[in-house]
């Protein structure tokens, strides 16, 4: 690993040796109200950092997830890139040569502490530019009260069991036996979870890409997966009154929290939402075609550092502080997300205190999770196409193979354009 820009920055403490430097960070907001806005987290962290770094100021601007990626793009396009951005994707900026490599910024200790699959997902052209910031996985949430009313004693582990449970729940009048959000809000996530669970004979599904990163959206396994969804869940009225292509994640989560949905694939934020409404729920690994899925879907958000302002040393020192075990744990516990470092993950796994214990089912999935192909500059276009079109695959009269074939064509063309652009 390169040691460029890492002079003695092993602990994120001490002076950077320079004065009167202002770092500008644009970050996403993980809070759901002014009371727990990410601005409060960053303000507290920066205050502590500046106490021991009197020559460095850090100005943090926090924006909603609806706005933050566009805000950073506008700043970069206008020639005023921030020093740091904590957003959803990094590959386009890396491909354009605008980012520092992680090895130009971080201490060897910090680099080595990242969970390996997250570091790997942060690579573009075999070099890490995306620095993982927050992670989550998916598990199956189920309503224990509704299950009991339908005479179901154990949660499903296979698709056949899931369909049978959904049928029993429908017979009891449950509005959404299984909520299937394939609406445009986050259809790419629900889709990937199903693709990963669609393998046969103990093998996992192919997801969006194969092991060498080639898009495989229309693979035989994936076509079978969406054919099963269309015929055995949606076609039998087991997904509720709203067409999956029009059901967004927020609606599905709200239905679960309101006791109207018996099952839904969810991430950690659903815990607080369901607990606030008094729902008795359980969480288990996502069922697969033949049993437990080989892998869960993992998601990471990214920190990146732009080269434009030339503050590599100060940026690196600040990031080493951000990624200390204490600060990673503080952020994860505040927002119900998974740590991105081994040290913080081990600490959370060893803790039975709240909120750590509630996150254990998700943490258990992280080591074997598979990520979106975020290192491909074509992914943003492919993800958008999936969001807009995948619901058609399970609609009445829909053709799963035809939809997946069109998405594959879109992905292949986007990938080709990205590699030649």
CA nearest neighbour of 247 among 180, 320, 314, 161: 180
**Helix H or strand E encompassing 273:** helix 269-276
Q: What is the pLDDT of residue 32?
A: 75
Question: How large is the average pLDDT for residues 6-27?
Answer: 59
Question: How large is the average pLDDT for residues 279-285?
Answer: 96
- CA atoms of 72 and 42, how far apart (whole Å): 18
Question: How large is the average pLDDT for residues 86-95?
Answer: 94
Bridge-based pairing of strands 281-284 and 139-143 is antiparallel
2, 101 Cβ separation under 8 angstroms: yes
Question: How large is the average pLDDT for residues 186-210?
Answer: 83
310-363 confidence digits (pLDDT tens): 999 999 999 999 999 999 999 999 998 999 999 999 999 999 998 899 999 999
pLDDT at 418 over 80: no
Higher pLDDT among residues 369 and 291, named by residue = 369
Q: Could you please report the per-residue DSSP string of 331-360?
A: HHHHHT-B-SBHHHHHHHHT--STTHHHHH
Q: Is 195 exposed, middle or buried (0-12, 13-18, 19+ CB in 10 A)?
A: buried
- What rounded mean pLDDT belongs to the chain? 91
182, 394 Cβ separation under 8 angstroms: yes
In the chain, % of residues over pLDDT 70: 93
pLDDT at 421 over 70: no
Q: What is the pLDDT of residue 12?
A: 37
292-319 confidence digits (pLDDT tens): 666 788 999 999 999 999 999 999 999 9
21-78 confidence digits (pLDDT tens): 999 999 999 987 788 899 999 999 999 999 999 999 999 999 998 899 999 999 999 9
In the chain, % of residues over pLDDT 90: 82
Q: Per-residue confidence at 20, pLDDT binned at 50, 70, 90?
A: confident
Q: What is the pLDDT of residue 2?
A: 32
Q: What is the pLDDT of residue 11?
A: 35
């Amino acid at each position: 690993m390169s040691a460029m820009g890492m002079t003695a920055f092993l602990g994120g403490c001490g002076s950077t040796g320079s004065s009167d430097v202002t770092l500008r960070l644009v970050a996403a907001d993980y809070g759901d109200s002014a009371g727990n806005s990410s601005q409060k987290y960053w303000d507290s962290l920066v205050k502590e950092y500046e106490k021991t770094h009197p020559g460095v100021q850090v100005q943090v601007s926090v924006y909603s997830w609806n706005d933050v990626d566009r805000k950073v793009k506008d700043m970069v396009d206008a020639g005023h890139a921030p020093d740091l951005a904590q957003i959803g994707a990094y590959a386009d900026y890396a491909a354009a040569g605008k980012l520092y490599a992680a090895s130009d910024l971080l201490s060897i200790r910090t680099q080595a502490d990242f969970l390996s699959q997250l570091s790997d997902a942060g690579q573009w052209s075999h070099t890490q530019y995306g620095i993982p910031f927050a992670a989550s996985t998916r598990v199956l949430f189920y309503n224990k009260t509704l299950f009991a009313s339908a005479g179901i004693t154990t949660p499903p582990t296979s698709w056949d069991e899931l369909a049978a449970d959904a049928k029993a729940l429908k017979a009891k009048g449950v509005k959404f036996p299984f909520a299937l959000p394939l609406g445009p809000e986050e259809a790419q996530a629900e889709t990937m979870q199903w693709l990963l669970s669609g393998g046969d004979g103990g093998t996992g599904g192919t997801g969006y890409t194969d092991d060498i990163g080639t898009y495989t959206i229309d693979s035989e396994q994936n076509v079978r997966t969406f054919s099963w969804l269309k015929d055995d869940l949606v076609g039998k009225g087991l997904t509720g009154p709203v067409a999956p292509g029009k059901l967004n994640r927020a609606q599905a989560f709200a239905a679960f929290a309101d006791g109207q949905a018996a099952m839904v694939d969810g991430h950690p934020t659903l815990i607080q939402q369901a607990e606030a409404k008094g729902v008795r729920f359980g969480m288990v690994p996502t069922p697969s075609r033949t049993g437990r899925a080989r892998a869960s879907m993992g998601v990471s958000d990214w920190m990146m550092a732009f080269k434009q302002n030339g503050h590599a040393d100060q940026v690196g020192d600040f990031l080493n502080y951000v990624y200390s075990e204490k600060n990673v744990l503080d952020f994860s516990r505040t927002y119900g997300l998974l740590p991105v470092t081994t040290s913080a993950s081990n600490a959370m796994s060893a803790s039975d205190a709240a909120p750590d214990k509630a996150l254990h089912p998700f943490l258990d999935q992280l080591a074997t999770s598979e990520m979106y192909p975020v290192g491909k500059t074509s992914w943003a276009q492919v993800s958008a196409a999936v969001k807009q079109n995948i619901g058609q695959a399970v609609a009445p009269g829909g053709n799963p193979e035809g939809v997946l074939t069109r998405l594959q064509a879109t992905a292949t063309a986007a990938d080709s354009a990205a590699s030649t652009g």
